[in-house]
Every structure is written in C-alpha cells, then in structure tokens.
Structure 1
C-alpha cells in the first residue's frame, strides 16, 4: 500500500468491524451505526441495508471521523509520519523516489529534503513536486475526499457538518465544529449547493441528535449585492454557502473623481476596502469553523498559480483570525497534472461508481463520429435522430422523460446549428418547444426553465449549452450528451460535459449515451486517463519505482546488414497535349451515384481497461452513415477544370450545363468528370523502374554517446517490469550467438519475451538456414534505426511504428549480404484479433492496431516472397508453442 488513502482505508475498515469504539466520545459510535438499518426480507431473513447515505458517502464519513477522533485531526505531514513510520516507506508514499532525491535524503535526511520542497522553487519545478509543496506549506489540517462525479459529494458535506454540530451539542466542551463555510469558485456550482437545504438530516442523525440539531441549524446563502453575510457575528451552528468570488481578501479599485483631494481619495479607498472585507470579517467572527471546498480541483487545478493563491490567502486569513478546526476538500479526482495529491484520504473512482450502480452504465454507448467539418450539421442531425430512436419513450421512475444535452464551443455555433436541431425534430413529429437554450446570454425565463429540468412536467427534451451544464449540474433525467465541434477549453471540460448524463437514480436500468467527434474523443480519452488513471492503472507512471538500464550496441563496427527490398514499379509520365485548349469535341457523361462514399463514420466505444495501451476508450463497432452530399456551382467547377486542363472556361460551363441543368453538380462527381476530360485530352508515357530500398536495422551513429565514446543509450523502466529485461545469454545457452544486436533486450510484454526465448532454443537446434533474429520493437528513435513504418491515426496525423521482430534467412548463393528472405513478426494482445483480422481482410482500418498492421503489411506487398508478415495474437503470459508454428516453419525454409 503506497498511497495514504489505501492505508487509511484499511484502518477505517478495521475500525468499522469492531464497532467504531471511541471511549472519549462514545456518541460517534451511535451516529455511525445509525447509517445502517436492519430490514426483514420476504423469506423472513434479516439483512443490513444503508439507511440513506450511499456506500462511498458512508466510507467517507467514517474516514472523516477516524481522522478527527482516532488520529486527533492531524496535519497531513504528521499523518504520513504515523502511517508510514519508516523513512523508506514514507519516501515512497510521498513520491520521492528518483535517484537525485534519494541522494538528497542520504545527505540531508528526509526532513531536510521536505524543508527544501517548502522553500526551493527550482527543486520543486525540476522534480514536479508542486502538489507535495502545497501539502507541506499548509498550517492547518486539510484533507481531500476524492469521489467520482455522482457519488454525492454535496450530501457528504452536509453529513459531515450535521454530525459535527450534533457532536458539538452533545459535548459542549469538546473541540467540535460549530460553524461551516461551504465555498467553491463559479456561480454555477452555487445552484447545486442548494441541495444542502433539502438533505434529509433525520436520515443521517439518530432522533435524539436530530431534534437538537434541527432546532439550532441555520443555513445562509450569500446573494449578489448584499454587503455582508446574513448571520449573527460570533454565533454558532451556521452554515454559510458562498463562492470564492464573494468571500476573499480583496480591494475594489476606486476611480478618482474630478475635484477630489488626496484625503477624499484615501477615505473612499478605505470605505471600499471595508465593504469588500466585511463578509470575510463576519466569517472570521464565527467560532470553531470548518471550511468545505466543493469541487476542490478548482483549487488545485490547471491555473494553480492564480486561483490557489486567492483561495489559500482567504483560508490562511481565516485560520489566523478564528479557531479553524479543519478544511475538507471534495473533488472528483485524486490527481493534479498526473500527480496524486498527497492530501487525498479517500478515493472512490468512476469504475466503482458504475459497478455499484451509482452511475449509469455506458457499456457500448460512447459513439464517436469521423466527419469533415462541413458535415457538422449531419452529425447533429444523426445525434437527434439516434437519441429519439432509442430514448423517445424512456423516463425515470418519477416520470421525467429522458433528455439530450448538446454542448457547443461558442454561441454562434449554437445559433448556426439550432435550426438543424429543430428541423430534425420536425421530421419525427416534435416541435421546437422541446428545445431549451442555456448560455451566458440566456433570459431569466430560460434560466428558470433550466433550473426546473428535474420536474417531471418540464417540456424540454433537448438542451443546447455553451459553457453551462458541467460541474454541479444535477439532472438525473439527462440520458445523453453530445459535443458538437471541437471544444478547446481547460479544466477537463470535455470530460465534465461528456459525463453529465451518468448520474443515476434508483429504479433506472437504461444506459446513458455519449456522442462525440473523433477530435473530442481523443481529448475525452486523455482526460479520462488523467482523471481516473488510478482506477485503470492503480499507480501513475511517474510514481512507480523506476530503474535504469544501459543498452549497448553489440558490434558498432559490424552492425546487422540492412534489409534490402528490391521492387519494380510502374512510372507514368504525362505528356502535354498538342492543343490542350481545344474544348470542342469533348464528350462528357454524367457520372452515376454509386452510393459508396462514406461521408461520416460512427464508432461505438466503451470505457474499460485496455491491455498494452494507455487508452481508456475501447472501440467495439463502427457504422458508415449516409449523409446528404455537398454540391458545387457549375461556374466554379468549370473554372477549376479549365484551369487544370487548359480548356475554354465558357465552353466547359456549357458542357456541364447539359449534364446538370439544375445549375449545380454533386461535389463528388467532379473527380469523375475530370477523369473523362483527362482521358480525352491528355497523353501519357508508361514505363517501369527498379528501386532498391535499403532499411538500416541499426544506425550506429545514432547510438554514439559523444561524452564517453560508447555506442549505448540509457532507458528507464518501472521496477515491476524488470522481468522483461533480458541480458546477453552465455554461449552455453545460445551457442550460435543469435540475437542481441544490442543488449539487454527490453521487451514490452511477457509474450514478446517468451517468443524470443523459445525461438532461440529452436534456432540453436536448427541454425543452418538462419542468418539472425532481431528484436526491434523497443527501438523507435529514427536516429537509431530505419526499421519503422508510418501510419495515420484517427486525427490524420502521421505516426511511426516499429514491428517487434525480424527473422532473416541467409542469402541465396551469390546474393549480397542482407538480401535473404525475412519474416516480420508482431505480437499483439488477443483482444485485437477479431478487429485486426477483419480490417486486414478488407484492406481498410479504423482501429489504431489495424492501421499499424496494414502499414507493416505494405512492406510485405513491396516484394512478395521476399518479405512475409506474421501477427501472433497472444493472451497474457508465456506464448504457447502452437502460436509459433509459422515462425518455426519459416526458419526451416518452408
């Protein structure tokens, strides 16, 4: 257990199992046990069920009180010292594992290093210790409760301050919270915090505690325009809900008016400062204060240098002016810039939420579209049609009909595409009244309607949004989200938007659906990795224990002979027409519509762990969609064709008019018409040329380390992957010296290592025909090797890919070295077998693995018989011998 929240989780489970003992404050036992009730089921058996709080909320409440009463509300740094008493375990838990940081620990001790983290900006920047610094520099207890969206963070806040108030009433002399400040940046979140007024606190507190709590509890919301907070200074049992813009140290600028003296200016500035800080001073007057920061990733977010300073300054001021008991931060992720925040005391992830029914399922329900920007209207149309085809009659148990939210980057995008939405609704018999807009320019009527969307009688089914409807928007009847056009925003906006439809309610078993473009899919995948990386990978890559190895080139003076591919290709040269400007005599026919063009492709994805890749989204199906084709004006088409083929533009336009009397032609007809003109007006000369392609398996100059003159390179790998490092074998195990053109080999998977070691055994038994075997999959730097292929990803970007192995036979007699037959072997996870096999059979791919495989196969196609490509689809673990049948046959000349 390398994380604090894991250690705490084990401690809290033990505390629960023995009945939450606390001799000093036994009332907490009564409160925590009240969260579970015993019910009799149909067969007469008694079962324990949760009374109101969900399981993650219950675990979080237990964790909070374990920290408060058993661990005595420790500062996080003290908590690490208690949970990880040894220097080595604490160093690992804090992520201080690099060689450079371990050297500092040896020289200055762990405490010396932690002091430098507090003060040394360069050290923090160099080693990415920003989140650790924030933890160490707090002067008060502060904890992060990381619960995935939909787990009920706002209700958890209510449960914590309700139980704190109850304990304060029960034990007046105890150090319990008597006032709570609940704040978060952004006006949109304030709306969700109004849930605190509707929490059934009688389902959280036993009757005797609830009666006294209800008589004392006062909930106040700050309102725009109010100069102060509506509470009595110095009073107790207040909960003030606000945002950071309304409660923070600030000084409003004052403009000097004509005729003012310096004294008048100073007086006005002082008055403005007093008004600005009055709310803060009122909060500071409240005794035994706890601060709750809802959606705390704003505090630790991408703009940490600005927002964190403002929030920290405010909290530091309150800590200095009042008795601050602790700070509780709730957020949906334990990460900040891929670093696990060290303040996290509980982590409940997205996968847990879906598995336990707290979030709607999205299995096979993430639909990604690949289309040109010009076809956005067709995307929106298909989204609306697909949604109402699947969800038209779907409703929650309370009768609220299923809704679709469409997010737009800008208001002008919304206005441009709203007519498409309304026209599509008209096609299926629905009027524009089901559409609701919510932007920063929305009218009060639209805002009120948006706030009433949870009402079963709300008429709106399609919600059009710009910079609205993300964090804090609680709309369980939202079953689908669509992201129209690429969203270029920070703070995980794509993830926040796409996941709004996941909130679940009891009694619903209908899955949610997400519609995105391929561009937004890549962003969503990345944000899922960053936000929920621990669920999928358990530990972030940067925090795994690292080791280094030096890869040495076996013989720089005699590297492996290059791979030589000789092939013949046709060469067609165009000859200029003797009279290319002559248009008379052209005979053009209107091309037929074959319906083969795919203007849009829709791919279905699921969320889940994918072996061998960092991606969180897994493709399960794709469907080509027919869309209305684009047209082009005949004048424009004639001008283009005339320019290309030196024709008379007016005569060309007349020819086109005979084919297209309507004055426009389908854009996809233009290439076919151009081909007809090409055939009738242009002449070509055809020939052949022989090309010898030389592919260097190793480029020694790229391996040269000029500092020490060695042909070597260093790699870093996770300690738990050390079994994939294979050092140079002794002659007794590899008598014919096959492989290891560099050493050690650094494999990516167990099946790769298994393939190589089993092939070595076979080659040493039957070495006569084989020149060598090379593991090539780990060297991807084009300075070190030429053996790679280029492929295009879903975003049409060029990528490089290096296959895993080359097995090369000895050349035929009289042929040059390196010209023998080659078998290129690729080891892939068996999960890709169906997709890749089908895509290779049809010669077109939409998956990344399929695209890479087709790119490698292009080498085989250059010289069939000389190069052969074999894919082995393998499960995890050692490779079974039958999977290697073709490789063994190849080495025997078959």
Structure 2
C-alpha cells in the first residue's frame, strides 16, 4: 500500500481528490444490490435506456452512465446533499455501511485507497463541500461538449415527471422543471427539449402521458411573462437567466410605490450568501443590500416541487469560476445563484421546495481544483477516443498575417473536405474575429479574395456579429439553419458568437488568428467544430496562430487536464506520476541591468548591410526565420523524415516597395534626412537594386536588418551595467508533498529503477524525472554516465512556477517578457556549471529559440556559467562532447 503524503495543502488536496470517481466505483461494484431498492417503474425506465437490456437504446454510454448516477442519487441516496453523502461514505455509515475497502484502479492495476487520507485531510475536502452547500441538493454533471447534455437533461426531466405522476406525494420527485441557460445561443439549442422524440428515451406506455401533460414555456424575449397556472404540474420553463433573475433595487420607493407596486416583496441580502460561493458567473455580482422580484420570479414561487436544471454551467471558467467557487479568492454572490437560493426559501415558506439543482457543465475542474459537488464526469479525451466527437486536425502558424492566414486556412480546409457531404450537409468553416471592425474590414475581404480565386461564390459567406446593421434577421435565420440540407452558407464569420450552445454538427473547421481578450474563448471556439456527424468519425480542422495555440494548450491543461497533443488523439501510453523533492538545491544567479548612452558617429560610405543575394547558403540562413513553414507531424516525439514540411512563404502577403518608399521609411524611422539616407543606401556594398530585391522578397528585412545596420553606422551605444545576485531554488517544495506530472511511460525514470539506482547520488534532486522526448532522455543517460560530470539535474519538467530557475527573455512576436526553463543543469569536475537546452533541428533557428538563447547566454556569463544548445539529432547520436569543453 502506498504511503500517504505527510502533509497536504488545501488546494493541492482538492486538486487531487475527486469524490465522484469513488462514488462511481461504489455504484459499479454494488449495482445489482442498489437496483434492488429501486421502484419497478424506475428499473423499467433504466432498462429501456440500458444497451445491455435494450439493443436499440438511444443514449450514448456517458449519457446513460450519468442517468444511472442521477437515479442513484435520487432513489438510493434520497436526494441528499453531496457533503452528507461524502461524510457517510467516509464513515461507512447509512447506505455505505457495508461498502468494501478500496477505491479506483489506475492504468497499472494499482488501487488508490481513500483510507490513505487521514481524517484531518478528509476535513479539508468536507469543509470545501460545506462551504458550497445550499439548503437544497446541488449536483454537478460534468460531460464534455458534444456528448449530449441537453438530451440527458430532457431524459432526466421525463423520468421525474413519470414518477411524480405515479407517486405525487413523494418529495423526491420534481413536478415542475426550470431550465436555465447562460445566453440566447444556448437558449436556442434548448428548444431541442420540446422537439426531441420522447419515444427514444421513454418506454412506449408513458409517451402519450408525457405528450399530453408537458407544457413548455420559453422566456426568450425581454418583457415575456410566465403564464403557468398556480400549483400546476409538468411545466418546463426554459429561460435565459436574465429573465428570472432578481434585480438590484436602485432607488428608494416612494409612498405611492409602496402602496401600489405589483411585487410587494423585497429580499435583503444575508451574509450567508457571501460565505457560500458557487460556480456561476452569468451576471454581475450583487453589491446592493436589496433585490427586487419580478413577475416571472413570483410565478415560479407558486409552482410545487421545482427542479432546477442549469445548462452550460461552465459559462464561467478559470479565474472567474475559481472566485465563484470560493477557491483562492474572496467568494462573491452571483445573480443566478442568489435567485435560486431566494426561490428555494420562498417555496419552503409556501410549504413546498426546490427538489434539487442539477448543473450540467463541460469539466469537473477549475484550474488545479476539482469542483466539490461533481457527481459524474466524462472527459474530452474519452469522448474523442470513443468517437463521440470528431478527431482533431490541429495546425498552428507562426509569422503569418491576417490575409495569408485566411488563404492558407481556407485552401487547406477546401482540400481536406473536398467531396465531403455527411448527411447531405455542406462542411462549414467558422472564422472568429476579435471585433466587428476586424470581421467586416479584414476577415470578410480576405475570405472573399480566396473564394474568388477558388471559383467559390462569395454568397456562401455569412456574417453574424450581433449588430443589426450588419447581421440581418435573414442572416440570423440562416445561422440557425446551417445544419439544414438547403443551407448554402459555408464560411461563417463570427464575433463573440457560437462559443456555447451552437450545435452545428456540419461545422468542420475553425480559424482563430488574433488573440481575443478572453483566453478561455480560444478553447470555447476551438471546440465548436468537434461535434460528430454521420456514421464515421470525421476530423475537425482547427487553425490557430502560434500565440493562440499556446493559449489553447494552457486552457486545456487548466480545464481538462490534457494537452494539445492529447487533443489531437496522439495520446500514447501515458501515466500520471507523483514527483517528490529529494534535494532542495539553491543556486546563486546574477542578473544584469544595462543602460545605454547614445553618441552620433560620422557615417562611412560603402558599408555592408549584412546580406548577399549571390551566396545562396548565407541567404537561406538569414531568411529561414521569415519563412512560413507548415509541419504535419506523423506522430508525437522528435521530428522525423516522415513528417511533411511545406514552405508556404510564397503565399505570404507582401508589400511592394519602391526605392522612394524604402528611403522614406528608413528616414522616418531614424529621423534623418531622406537625401542622406538615399546616399547611404545607394553607396552601400549591396546597392539600391539589391536592397529593393531583398526587401520585396522578405519585407521583414527592412526593419530587422537594414535599419539596424544603418543605425549602427550612424550611432554608437555606450552601455553601463549593474549586476544583482539572487539565490534561486531549483525546485520549490510543494505543499502537497508532491507534483503530479503526466508523461509517456517509456520516458519516466525513477531513482529506484535498477538502471538508475547506481547514479542516485549523482542526480535525482527529484525522485522521478519525466522526459518530453527521446533526445532529452538519451542525453540524460549520456551525461549521468559521463565521468567528467560531477552533478546532473534535469530541470525541464517543472515549468509552471514550481522552479525559480528560469530565464526571462523578450518574445520576438508579442514583444512581452516571458519565462523559459532550460532542460539540464550540470556541474563539471572543475566546478563549472553548464546550462543545456535540447531543441529539435527544425526549431533551432526560429526567432523565439534564438531569443531564449541570447538571454540565457547573458545570464550564464554573468553567473560564471556556460549555456549550450544541442540539436535533437546530435543528442540521439551521442554527440555531446562539446558540452564538456
């Protein structure tokens, strides 16, 4: 049995402990005994949807499993709150009195036992659940986008109504349902609740009853009133949250207002709501002391046994979600949650209740923390692997501009989907713009140009930006009918649309160039094209700028605990390991501050501007970083000969300079006389004709090479330096006692491994090293066996703030300061320290890698170290001797 960590921080324990996994394990191990306690009607409903009992069952595996948990909570656990269920589970009390010892089997057959967690550590999780508890049961079902949350929600409501009709006095069952959506886009998708054929999920003998008795009410437009009959049953109210929300009271009532107002009750905010954070971020926090009711809210308080279903409960992600959960920040009230709390209180006063609130979200995580009230989860990676979503074709492009990005993306999309008509639908492609101006003035003309070149009618473009001046009612209607065979729209340009609730199954491509204000938007937009369609698993094509690709990877880690490589389906045989600190290492690092004094020089005629068109090798070396390369990897790991690399530089948008324009640009930039600049350029070794050819081949050379060269001819910079010395930790000791790291099994090296144990004193400041690539791992074994190496540390695996050993550099694309973590640090026999970075051959000369090298060398020199970069092919060939010179 594995030993429990000695101490765990609260956030770390919440991050690693997922009660829903243990709950599901308990249910699976005891399914037969649990089902014996169900009513016959419940068992009939489950059997109708169980593929093991009904070969024609409609629900997918994640939907049916979630339905099983939904019924399990209601029939077996009597709708108890999560923290009460958790307490009984831990104490083996109540329904869990006879539960077996044990927990969840991992990929290696080992079992993670909950008993390893001490009672003090258990209290951390229990207190987090209590902080989020309400007066009603509050459950979270985390099913990734595209697995059918709306159908699942409808099935649960149908089940509730069938049993409520049979046992109307049983308080477990909902007599009415309020379905909340975060915005109008999701609200439109919820109309599927009414149009969905009941016979697919309801036993045939109950279809007529539901068809006759269910009444749907849509609160979609402003001012829409709710016309349910008081104390009526089987109402499904589908509403945008703003339509039922409690509103701030902005002014003091007059005597007349107090006498004649239609909604006499005003709620006073209580401090309990400030202490109980939850997961919603739909509206602004309520910071007033009073909330006023409206007609829709008042009508809801006159319905009995209300069940509340919140669709797309993950509307707030990341930091906003963490704050609303009360994790790492002061919790705040939100309008929807406060409204539900007040609604529950009002119904209780009336002698009835909110039966439960069921939240349907896309992820069980908020950053590093598991949402405490999750009762079932089905992840994005599983959905792709099991073909519930499209496969992912993910491409990132560096050094591209809007027009060329559009052209490359559209050309590739048309080639990939040529002749494809799944279910008779034309494959669609969506461009997400940051602003309306960008959509209208840049994206639309760029898309039109590419379509004209390809002979595609520009009428296939549809713009939906939320502005009636640009997007007409006909456009909105066309947007909602993209999945109809008669739709002739194929290229959709969007601004802040379609992030959630946009169920366009014929969407096969998404392109996002500029970085949006919200990072989570990159994740939301990228996922739109993955909904499955047809009888085979197609591919969704995602085109991102390099910056957005990095954001996508980060957001996937935060919200799904997976990487962009995992998303592409090339997961490989991976394992998540617990990495512990063996040896706290402290280094002394010097950082240099420089200032410059500018002095003017007398320019020299005939100077060299730094390029030679006749020298093909030198010209290629100079311009490699400006070339637009597309790499399509055949598999994860280092670059291979089978990888397809295309030079798309010819497709780049280039500005055609004249001699006069070049002179004007240089003179403007250097603030010198155009006559003087013209003479310097014409009198250079290259001459004006060669300069014109070079600049019109690669526009970047003007500002990256020619202007700096002329600047050095005209001025000298006299630097002054000051050096500051810091002590930095090679790795910080984690509060939880360990870090969780996922890596391929064949790239995990533990100090206890037989082939590693002899070198334990020479390395392993961490008890486990997880390598990203074969070159890294090969170099590690070469250096650890090398007699001239005294001490070796692998430093490239903890890159999210777990180490202070990093290099700050200026990113050449964003012009912002970033942090970079080298791969290795080793000490030679003479005591000299060497920093080593392993890079793929195709990456060595990229601007970002060169910027990292430049700043790392500066830091290394200042600290009495050396910095070396080694190509992946050299590492694999054991060519490391120069590192020891």
State whether TM-score is above 0.5: yes
2:841 to 831, 838, 841: 838
Mapped to 2, the partners of 1:548 and 1:411 lie a distance apart of 50
Deviations 1:151-188 (A, max 9, x none): 01011110001011111223334332111110122122
Q: 2:459 pairs with 433, 444, 461, which one?
A: 433
2:49 to 19, 27, 35: 35
SS of 1:240's equivalent? strand
Distance 1:867 1:329 in 2: 52
Q: Pick from 174, 178, 182: which aligns with 2:179?
A: 182
CA distance in structure 2 between the partners assigned to 1:22 and 1:396 by the alignment? 44
User: Residue 389 of structure 2 aligns to a residue in which SS?
Assistant: coil
Q: Are the aligned partners of 1:34 and 1:204 in contact in 2 as well (CA < 8 Å)?
A: yes
Say if 1:633 and 1:663, in contact at 8 Å, map to a contact too.
no
Q: 2:232 corresponds to which residue?
A: 235
Q: Secondary structure at the match of 2:217?
A: strand
Map 1:170-569 to 2 at 5 A. 170-175=166-171, 176-226=173-223, 228-250=225-247, 262-267=254-259, 276-298=293-315, 302=320, 308-320=333-345, 321=347, 322-362=352-392, 365-371=393-399, 375-397=401-423, 399-417=424-442, 418-441=444-467, 442-489=471-518, 492-533=520-561, 551=584
Residue 413 of structure 1 and its aligned partner are, at CA, apart by 0.4
Contact 1:634–1:664 under 8 Å retained in 2: no
**Matched residue of 2:160: which SS?**
helix
Residues 1:721 and 1:658: Cα distance change in structure 2 (over 3 Å): closer
Deviation at residue 23 of structure 1 after TM alignment: 4.0
Give the Cα separation in 2 of the matches to 1:550 and 1:284: 62
Offset at residue 70 of structure 1 (A): 1.0
Indicate the SS of the match to 1:231: coil
Q: 1:600 and 1:206, CA in 2 relative to 1: closer, same or farther beyond 3 A? A: farther
User: Are residue 158 (structure 1) and residue 183 (structure 2) matched?
Assistant: no
**Structure 1 residues 634 and 68, CA, compared in 2 at 3 Å: closer, same or farther?**
same
Give the whole-Å Cα distance in 2 for the aligned partners of 1:844 and 1:61: 54
**For the Cα contact (< 8 Å) 1:791–1:798, is it kept in 2?**
yes
Whose Rg is larger? 1
CA deviation string 1:66-85 (max 9, x = no partner): 11111111111111112222
State whether residues 579 and 767 of structure 2, in contact with CA within 8 Å, keep that contact through their aligned partners in structure 1. Answer: no
Against the structure 1 CA distance between its residues 756 and 422, is the aligned structure 2 distance closer, same or farther, given a 3 Å change threshold?
closer
Residue aligned with 1:838, SS:
coil
Q: Is the contact made by 1:234 and 1:285 (CA closer than 8 Å) also made in structure 2?
A: yes
Aligned-pair CA distance for 1:383: 1.8
Residues 700-750 of structure 1 show CA distances to partners (whole Å, capped at 9, x for unaligned) of: x7279xxxxxx99856575478998979xxxx989xx9858xx96666348
Q: Specify the SS of the correspondent of 1:702.
A: strand
Residue-by-residue CA offset, 1:781-812 (whole Å, 9 max, x unaligned): 99x999979695875655444442436355xx
For 1:787 and 1:230, the matched residues in 2 are separated by 63
Segment drifting more, 59-68 vs 337-346: 337-346
Structure 2 equivalent of residue 832 of structure 1? none
Structure 1 distance, partners of 2:584, 2:655, is 55
TM-score, normalization by structure 2: 0.70
Cα-Cα RMSD? 5.7
Deviations 1:822-865 (A, max 9, x none): 98777x7xxxxxxx45337xx525897x9979998999999xxx
**1:149·1:332 contact (CA, 8 Å) conserved in 2?**
yes
Q: Is residue 2:114 matched to residue 1:84?
A: no
Q: Are the structure 2 counterparts of residues 354 and 647 from structure 1 closer, same or farther at C-alpha, using a change threshold of 3 Å?
A: closer
Mapped partners of 1:291, 1:300: distance in 2:
21
Q: Is the 8 A contact 1:20 1:32 kept in 2?
A: no
What is the rounded CA distance, in whole Å, between the counterparts of 2:252 and 2:372 in structure 1? 44
Superimposed CA distance per residue, residues 107-126 of structure 1 (whole angstroms, 9 cap, x where no aligned partner):
xx976x789x5xxxxxxxxx
Q: TM-score, normalised by structure 1?
A: 0.70
Deviation per residue, 1:87-137 (Å, 9 max, x gap): 9x99x99xxxxxxxx99x76xx976x789x5xxxxxxxxxxx6xx46523x
SS of 1:245's equivalent? helix
Change (3 A) 1:59 1:526: same
CA distance in 2, matches of 1:341, 1:806: 41
* Whole-angstrom distance in 1 between the partners of 2:711 and 2:150: 74
**Deviation, structure 1 residue 210:** 2.1
Structure 1 residue 65 displacement after superposition: 0.2
Q: Offset of 1:213 from its aligned partner? A: 2.2
Residue 878 of structure 1 corresponds to none
Task: From the superposition, tell whether residues 640 and 30 of structure 1 become closer, same or farther in structure 2 (CA, over 3 Å).
Answer: closer
- Identify unmatched segments of 5+ residues in structure 1: 39-46, 94-101, 118-128, 257-261, 563-572, 612-618, 686-694, 705-710, 764-769, 811-817, 829-835, 875-881
Separation in 2 of the partners of 1:551 and 1:153? 47
Partner of 1:5: 20
After TM superposition, the structure 1 = structure 2 runs for residues 791-810 of structure 1, keeping only pairs within 5 Å, are: 798-806=818-826, 808-809=828-829
Aligned: 1:70 with 2:100? no
C-alpha separation in 1, matches of 2:435 and 2:708: 44
| Distance in 2 separating the partners of 1:85 and 1:67 | 18
**1:398-448 C-alpha deviation (Å, 9 max, x unpaired):** x11001111101100011121121121111112221111111112211111
Over residues 303-335 of structure 1, what are the superposed CA-to-partner deviations in whole Å (9 max), with x where a residue is unaligned? 655985211221112222132211110000112
